[in-house]
Every structure is written in C-alpha cells, then in structure tokens.
Amino acid sequence: MSRPEPAQAAQAHERAARQRLSPARVLDIDPLIEDPQTRIIVCCGAGGVGKTTTAAALGLRAAERGRKVVVLTIDPARRLAQSMGIDSLDNTPRRVKGIDDSAGGELHAMMLDMKRTFDEIVEAHADPERAAAILSNPFYQSLSAGFAGTQEYMAMEKLGQLRARDEWDLIVVDTPPSRSALDFLDAPKRLGSFLDGKLIRVLLAPAKAGGRAGMKFLNVGMSMMTGVLGKLLGGQLLKDVQTFVAAMDSMFGGFRTRADATYQLLQAPGTAFLVVAAPERDALREAAYFVERLAAERMPLAGLVLNRVHGSGADRLSAERAVAAAENLEESRIVDQEDGKAGSRTSPGNSPSTYDSSESPARDEPGVSAGPADPVESTAPDEGSPADAERSVDRFTAGLLRLHAERMHLLAREQRTRDRFTALHPEVAVTEVAALPGDVHDLAGLRDIGDRLANNRPELPEPGA
C-alpha cells in the first residue's frame, strides 16, 4: 500500500518540518493545459473547496491559450453560471462570449442536467414507442430526477458523449459533490454488477415469460423471490420496476459498454486528474484519500490544486513580534494620555530580532504629518489635536499588527497541514492558489484565478496591484 506506516509518516513529517519543506514537486499548469495530448482534465475533491471555479478557470485559461475547450460543470454557483452564459439548463455546451480568442481558442461551457441526459439516452437508443413507455414509467421518472448515484452516472455519460463528438480538443470536467466524492468512479462497476446479478433476471422473468422460452432459469427459488419483492415493494411498484427493466433491457448493454469505455477513457494517457483542496485539515485529509483511491484505480493524477492559500508581504515579521509591537503601541497610548508625549515608546523587552537592530526607531518631526489623517476624532473643535490624531494612528497601527499576527498564525497552520500532506504524498505535484477576499463571478475573476493557478505564487499580489 502506498500509505506509509504511521511511524514512518511521523518521521517523514519531522524531516519535512526540519527542512521547511515546500512541495517536492511543483505542478506546472500551463504545460498541462497547452499539451495537445491532454484531452480530458477531471477536477475532483471534497465539497466547498472551489472545484467548479477551478474547472472554469482552467478551461478559460486553456481557451485563451489557443485550445478548443468545453467545460462540463455539475452545480455551479448561480452568478458564475450567469457570467459564462450557462445559467439556462439546456444540457448542451454554449459558447462563452467575451474571452480573448486571439490565440484561436474557443471556450464552451455547459451545466449538467441529469434528467435531460438520461432522457436523451433513452430517446437515442430505443425506438420511439419503447422510449415513450420508458419516459412515462413512474419508476424511471423518479430514477432520472436524480436520486443518489444518478448524477454520477450521468456525469460520466455526458463526458463520454462530449468526447465522442470530438468537437473539442480539451474537456474539463467538474465532478459531483458526492457523498463519497469518488462515486463517479464506481458508477460503471455498480451498473455492471447489477447487470451481472441474478436480480435483473428475476425482474425480467415475468415480462419475458410471455414471449420467450428463456424461462429455464426461473426456478422455484426465483419465483419465491418475486413473491418477496412483491410483498416488499407492493404489486404496483414491482410491476413498474419490471416494466422499466424490461423496456430498458435492450439498452442496458449499451449503457454498460459506454460506462466501461468512459472508465477506460479516464485511465487513458490523455486524461489528467486534478485533486482540488484547501489548506485545511479535513479538505486535505479527503485529498489524500482521493490520491490513494486514484492510484488504486490506476487513474492518471496530474497533481493537487491547493486553493485559498494565504500569504503575507510582511512574512518576515513574526506573529509574536507583531503582537508585542501592538502591545507597545497600546501601552504607550495610555502613557501618552497620562503624561503627554513622555519618553520612549519602545519598551526594553522588545528589541528587534529579525530586523536590523542597529537601526534605531527614528521618529521624524512629530506633528508635521499627523494632522490631516483623523476623520474619527472630530469632537475636538479644531479637527482634533495632533496628539489625538497620533493616538488614533497608534491604535490603528496596533490593529494592523494584530491582523498581521492572525495572518501569520494562519500561514503557519496552512503550512503544517500542507506539510503533512506532502510528507504522506511527496510524489504529488502541487500548485497553490492565493486566497481572494471574495467570490469569483466573472471572466476577469476566472482569468485571475487562472493566472494564480499557473504562476503558483502563494504570496499576495504586489501592494497596489
């Protein structure tokens, strides 16, 4: 098994911590999406880690670099869907307007409509009369409206369809937010085991009894089973199920062939899986599970996309020093209030350590520029005294420092969870996407995410950028 023993893992973790380990490998997005050999990219990961946004951003970036791309999303946020023009549910890829097509690329996007996809399969593979019978079957109607599992089948089915149309040279797929998020890998197998099972023959038996001589497997045990099922399900439901299964019988073979083909497609060299996560304990735990599961299924993993990674332009200032400095400012404010501008505000216990301590705290002329900036303390008749203004700047600066301390703690936590993942899976290439303060709902935002994905820069953008 690929998972190291706990002791080994702990040792690896320690080693990693000692080396201030950054990911063993960096995932380079651009070569991946530019390579004409890459035909399918599957984004998978736990719910709420930015899977859909990542898929959309990758699609946009690939299109703007000259590829003809279709993005299959499962359940996009409304405003993101609107921005791509795919908020209408018609189950066909729509061309996304407003992209930079100077490199000759195109972006198409669609949102999966489970029921439509299912209906289309029925319509395409059964004669009209039989199709009508299936579509009006109550059992079918419930099934296709999306009970557990249907979404996974249909996502794979749609992927197979898009690939078969051969109109795009890159398909980017978002995966359903499944209960166990890799259900889509099991879909073909489950269908297979159902089709191989005896149950289907029991269900088919009464329907076939009329026309065919295929009754020989309907022994006494089987008819008892139909009896049990009938008792359990109620006669009407059993009949609906039987009619449904009988009507679908001719199509099941096709279902299965396509499901198997899609599964093989996923294992093929042109496919790349990206596991998407955020630098949080649970999300990375799930990501590790995905990595292991994909390896077990021999699915080609391109790497890990780590979203919402925080950085700091002032990361040389530690949390501890920031808090100490904030305390200095807050204390000196009290001192100031007591006896004006008394003495040094630098308490002796806090000599700078990471910064050059020979550089003494040099204060320019007090009061020269403290005046204009004080919209808060307007209680004083003359726009607030310089001392008041300075006190509020001190308090403000203390706030900045405390904010920074929080940020540094966050950075340290993210680093720890990431290191843990890297220690367990050093083979997995990682790209980090810097956190944004808000949500993405337009192409510009997606483009920005694409840049962040490709540049792999965890730092904040340059101030003022």
Partner 1 sequence: MSRLQVVSGKGGTGKTTVAAALALALATEGKRTLLVEVEGRQGIAQLFETEALPYEERKIAVAPDGGEVYALAIDPELALLDYLQMFYKMGGAGRALKKLGAIDFATTIAPGLRDVLLTGKACEAVRRKERSGRFVYDYVVMDAPPTGRITRFLNVNDEVAGLAKIGPIHNQAQAVMRVLKSPETAVHLVTLLEEMPVQETADGIAELRAARLPVGRVIVNMVRPALLDPADLELLGTVERSSVARALSSAGLGGARRGGHAERLVDPLLEQAREYAERYALEAEQRAVLEDLGLPLHELPLYADGVDLAALYQMARELRGQGVS
Of the ranges 7-15, 16-24, 212-220, 278-286, which one interacts with partner 1 (CB under 8 A)?
Answer: 278-286
| Rounded Cα distance, 291 and 4, in Å | 14
Instruction: Name which position in 98, 104, 214, 234 contacts partner 1 (CB under 8 A).
Output: 234
44 touches 274 (CB < 8 A):
yes
By CB under 8 A, tell whether 192 contacts partner 1: no
320 binds partner 1 (CB under 8 A): no
Does residue 118 touch partner 1 according to CB under 8 A?
Answer: no
211 near partner 1, rule: CB under 8 A: no
Q: For residues 292 and 284, give the distance between their C-alpha atoms in angstroms, rounded to a whole number.
A: 12
Chain positions 42 to 61 lying near partner 1, rule: CB under 8 A, are: 46-49
The SS3 assignment for 366 reads coil
Stated length of the chain? 465
133 counts as binding partner 1 under rule CB under 8 A:
no
| Under rule CB under 8 A, residue 329 binds partner 1 | yes
When asked if residue 1 is in the footprint of partner 1 (CB under 8 A), the reply is no
Q: Looking at 3, 97, 165, 198, which residue binds partner 1 (CB under 8 A)?
A: 198
Distance CA 287, CA 298 (A): 16
Judged by CB under 8 A, the chain residues 6 through 45 that form the site for partner 1 are none
Is 437 a binding residue for partner 1 by CB under 8 A? The answer is yes
Q: Does 149 contact partner 1 by CB under 8 A? A: yes
Q: Where are the alpha helices (DSSP H) in 42-149?
A: 51-64, 78-84, 114-125, 128-135, 138-144
Facing residues of 99 across strands? Answer: none
Binds partner 1 by CB under 8 A, chosen from 193, 219, 250, 257: 193
Please choose, out of 28-36, 96-104, 299-307, 322-330, the segment that lies near partner 1 by the rule CB under 8 A: 322-330
CB-based contact 459:434 (threshold 8 Å): yes
Nearer to partner 1, 271 or 417 (CB): 417
Binding mask of the shown chain, residues 162 to 181, with x at each position contacting partner 1 by CB under 8 A: ---------------x-xx-
If one asks whether residue 444 binds partner 1 (CB under 8 A), the answer comes out as no
The single residue among 81, 202, 302, 319 that binds partner 1, judged by CB under 8 A, is 202
Question: In this chain, which of 9, 21, 24, 77 binds partner 1, going by CB under 8 A?
Answer: 77
The one-letter code for the residue type at 87 is D
Q: How far is CA 301 from CA 273, 275, 296, 330, in A?
A: 5, 8, 11, 52
Nearest distance from residue 422's CB to partner 1, in Å? 18
Q: Binding partner 1 by CB under 8 A: which of 231, 264, 320, 427? A: 231
Q: How many residues in the shown chain lie near partner 1 by CB under 8 A?
A: 104
In this structure, the strands spanning 40-44 and 430-434 are unpaired
2 near partner 1, judged by CB under 8 A = no
Burial class (CB in 10 A: 0-12, 13-18, 19+), 437: exposed
**Candidates 103-111, 205-213, 391-399, 423-431; binding stretch for partner 1 (CB under 8 A):** 391-399
- 438's CB contacts (< 8 A; 6+ apart) are none
Cβ at position 294, least distance to partner 1 in Å: 18
Of 338-367, binders to partner 1 (CB under 8 A) are: 345-347, 350-352, 355-356, 359-364, 366
Judged by CB under 8 A, the residue of 269, 340, 381, 438 near partner 1 is: 438
Three-state secondary-structure class, residue 114:
helix
Residue placing its CB nearer to partner 1 in the complex, 116 or 413: 413
Q: Which of 5, 6, 37, 78 binds partner 1 (CB under 8 A)?
A: 78
Residues of 267-301 as b/e, b for ≥16 C-beta within 10 angstroms? eeebbbbbbbbbbbeebbbbbbbbbebbbeeebbb
Q: What DSSP line would sit under 265-323, residue for residue?
A: HHHSTTEEEEEEE-SSHHHHHHHHHHHHHHHHTT--EEEEEEEEE---TTTTS-HHHHH
Residue 226: strand, helix, or coil: helix
Q: Which is nearer to partner 1, 208 or 310 (CB)?
A: 310
Note whether 326 binds partner 1 by CB under 8 A: yes
Q: If binding is defined by CB under 8 A, does position 235 make contact with partner 1?
A: yes
Among 3, 90, 399, 444, binds partner 1 (CB under 8 A): 399
Secondary structure of residue 432 in the 3-state scheme: strand
Q: Which helix (H) or strand (E) holds 248?
A: helix 235-267
